[in-house]
Amino acid sequence: MESTSEMVAFPLLLTPIESNYRVCTIPYRFPSDNPRKPTPTELQWIDLFYNSIPSFKKRAESDTTVADAPAKAQKFAQRYSEILEDLKKDPESHGGPPDCILLCRLREQVLRELGFRDIFKKVKDEENAKAISLFEDVVCLNDAIEDGTKRLENLVKGIFAGNIFDLGSAQLAEVFSRDGMSFLASCQNLVSRPWVIDDLDTFKVKWSKKSWKKAVIFVDNSGADIILGILPFARELLRRGTQVVLAANDLPSINDVTYPELIEIISKLKDGTGKLAGIDTSNLLIANSGNDLPVIDLTSVSQELAYLSSDADLVVLEGMGRAIETNLYAQFKCDSLKIGMVKHPEVAQFLGGRLYDCVFKYNEVLS
């Protein structure tokens, strides 16, 4: 028997995958670049990851599940800094040249080797509890909007507002630790449309005319993101008769929600009859994506997710890591939606947009 943990390609990627899929959106280097010399883009991104070290170190220091956490957190900061310095000297060290997947993977490896499993666990639990207490109110506000396309627009704004809770962004981690984040204020303070990629009007027309039989949603962060952003949207799809598969990370990474955490969140939100604020959830499935990073390479997902996704006709990737930094240009055999907020100046610069701009990219596949 093959091992059940063997990873496979996501079945809805356009084939042949080799010529149609490139996981990282922003090219850090081109074939003509000197392999021994870092490119300006590589240096820019290495610095971005370098700037995240203090906030990761701070979280690691206060991880009560790890013995000698402060000393090990110091070791993490030192080791990861050294790796980044190595990559600046020789882009081909540490399995390079670097891209956003490698830079995330190396950071996770250093943390895990030192015994840190989930340094954001405490803040995730706190944010989940807060968001769970607000869920009914958010859903009621949405349900009160009678016009279906206006309700959709409100749900989409909720996804963006929730997606702000991202401790992988050094600036947002700073704002968050200072005064937290209000979901409703975030909804009202989104940058004005048109967004940097804005297919919302097209999607609204499709939404009013078309219903999908099965949607796979790759979810992102804990707290407001999953609970007040994605779940009200998923609930609306369920209400319209769409089967919904929520794909969450296997292992913890930054403040991303994991598969076990998502199961627990949904069990807390359901009422005694198993409904989600009055909507039947028998068509709601939770899948383990097999992923362990805040970004995702769709050539490597769990067999469980591949099996559940094979007959889907809508793929939704949410969050800056999955929908923008990786997979913005991914092509699928079915309709797809990439939705996320731009939280790094480097991404804003690449897209030609503003910091905290929004990406809403819809591709329809004409069958």
* Residue at 189: amino acid letter: N
Mean pLDDT within 91-103: 97
Name the nearest CA neighbour of 189 among 163, 157, 152: 157
Kindly report the length of the chain.
367
CA 184 to chain centre: 20
Mean pLDDT calculated for residue range 69-84: 98
**Bridge-partner residues for 280, per DSSP?**
275
- The pLDDT score that the predictor gives to residue 185 is 78
> What would the 3-class secondary structure string for 190-213 be?
CCCCCCCEECHHHHHHHHHHCCCC
The mean of the pLDDT values for the chain is 94
What mean pLDDT is predicted for residues 316-323?
Answer: 97
Residue ranges of alpha helices (H) inside 148-255 are 148-163, 170-179, 183-188, 200-209, 224, 231-239
> Bridge-partner residues for 270, per DSSP?
276
Backbone φ, ψ for residue 197 (5° rounding): -130, 120
* Amino acid identity, position 233: F
Tokens of 248: 């969450």
Residue 343: count of CB within 10 angstroms of its CB = 23
The string of pLDDT tens digits covering residues 180-210 is: 567 777 888 899 999 999 999 999 999 999 9
pLDDT over 50 (residue 1): no
pLDDT of residue 181: 61
Give the per-residue pLDDT at 206. 97
Cα-based distances in Å from 17 to 4, 56, 141: 22, 35, 42
pLDDT for 3: 41
Would you say the C-alpha torsion 48, 51, 53, 57 has a positive or negative sign?
negative
Strand partners, 245: 216, 285
Token output for 39 = 């490119």
Region of 327 (left: φ > 0; alpha: ψ -120 to 50; beta: rest) is: left
The model's confidence at residue 5, banded by pLDDT at 50, 70 and 90, is confident
Q: Give pLDDT tens digits for 210-253.
A: 999 999 999 999 999 999 999 999 999 999 999 999 999 999 99
In the predicted structure, residue 11 carries a pLDDT above the cut 50: yes
CA 196 to centroid of chain Cα atoms:
18
Number of H helices, E strands in the chain: 15, 9
Sorting pLDDT into bands at 50, 70 and 90, what band is 255?
A: very high
Number of Cβ within a 10 Å radius of residue 11: 18
In this prediction, residue 182 carries a pLDDT of 75
For the ranges 157-166, 201-210, 350-359, the lowest mean pLDDT is seen at 157-166
Q: pLDDT at residue 4 above 60? A: no
User: In the beta sheet, which residues pair with residue 287?
Assistant: 247
Other Cβ atoms less than 10 A from the Cβ of 346: the count is 16
CB neighbour class for 278 (10 Å; exposed up to 12, middle 13-18, buried from 19): exposed
Which of 262, 223, 216 lies closest to 242, judged by CA?
216
Please indicate whether residue 185 or residue 314 has the higher confidence score (pLDDT). 314
Which positions ≥6 away from 23 have C-beta within 8 Å? 99, 101, 295, 296, 297, 298, 299, 326, 327, 330
